[in-house]
Amino acid sequence: EPEVTQTPSHQVTQMGQEVILRCVPISNHLYFYWYRQILGQKVEFLVSFYNNEISEKSEIFDDQFSVERPDGSNFTLKIRSTKLEDSAMYFCASSESAVRGNTIYFGEGSWLTVV
Amino acid sequence: GNSVTQMEGPVTLSEEAFLTINCTYTATGYPSLFWYVQYPGEGLQLLLKATKADDKGSNKGFEATYRKETTSFHLEKGSVQVSDSAVYFCALSGDGGSQGNLIFGKGTKLSVKP
């Protein structure tokens, strides 16, 4: 079964450093997302991306975050200057469409630890 | 705004026991409702979903019915197995353009003992 793949699975970075998390969505999907889960808290929506632009973003997705689809297969999340509170599991996801009730497929997550 | 509340865990059951994980929601209009499961070391996987009132989603022996009158989407399974041990997340997507913006509950960790 096709799946969303994410790299790295775990990254430790120093506060203030830039981090890029990478994702390969399912190949025929057109909608891409990033979510995060801080330890012990809810999974939270960050951003959705369609047709090479952001279609929706949450309050969490401030100027230090950016997303990009640099080629036909990758989808990246960049955190410009990491803070301690950015430590979380980051999930990439994709879907074929945005119709009501459509299924969103998640990757296994990238665990980011900021020290 | 929209929100999801699910029962706190962890839940520990013996094999073949009956499982209920409660989930209630607050939303305007008619959201779509989902249960996702996360097995140890894996990502979130869709378990089942329902898109309108009285719909029943089912998969792998799990069921949940969309109850508009009680704003609930409780997950049930008649006889759990050790392999069902995982974290279960209730989620909704709003009745509008934000279909990719899933609102999740906190998750309920289920442990099934042989």
Over residues B34-50, the pLDDT tens digits come to 999 999 888 899 999 99
Mean pLDDT, to the nearest integer, of A9-16?
97
- Number of alpha carbons in the 13 Å side-chain half-sphere of residue B40: 6
A72 touches chain B (CB under 8 A): no
Give the confidence band of A55 by pLDDT, cuts at 50, 70, 90.
very high
Residue A102 predicted with pLDDT over 90? no
Distance from CA of B75 to the nearest CA of A (A): 18
pLDDT tens, position by position, B4-63: 999 888 999 999 999 999 999 999 888 999 999 999 888 899 999 999 999 999 999 999
pLDDT (0 to 100) of residue A70? 87
Q: Please list, in sequence order, all residues whose beta carbon lies within 8 angstroms of the beta carbon of residue B92, skipping any fewer than 6 positions away.
A: B2, B4, B25, B27, B31, B32, B33, B34, B102, B103
Tally of residues, chain B? 114
| Interchain contact, B44 vs A44, CB within 8 Å | no
Distance from CA of B93 to the nearest CA of A (A): 7
For residues A29 and A39, give the distance between their C-alpha atoms in angstroms, rounded to a whole number.
29
pLDDT (0 to 100) of residue B96? 66
pLDDT tens, position by position, B80-96: 999 999 999 999 998 66
Give the confidence band of B97 by pLDDT, cuts at 50, 70, 90.
low
Of B9 and A23, more confident: A23
DSSP secondary structure of B48-89: EEE-STT-EEEETTEEEE-BTTTTB--EEESS--GGG-EEEE
Probe site for chain B from A51, A104, A108 (most B CB atoms < 10 A): A104
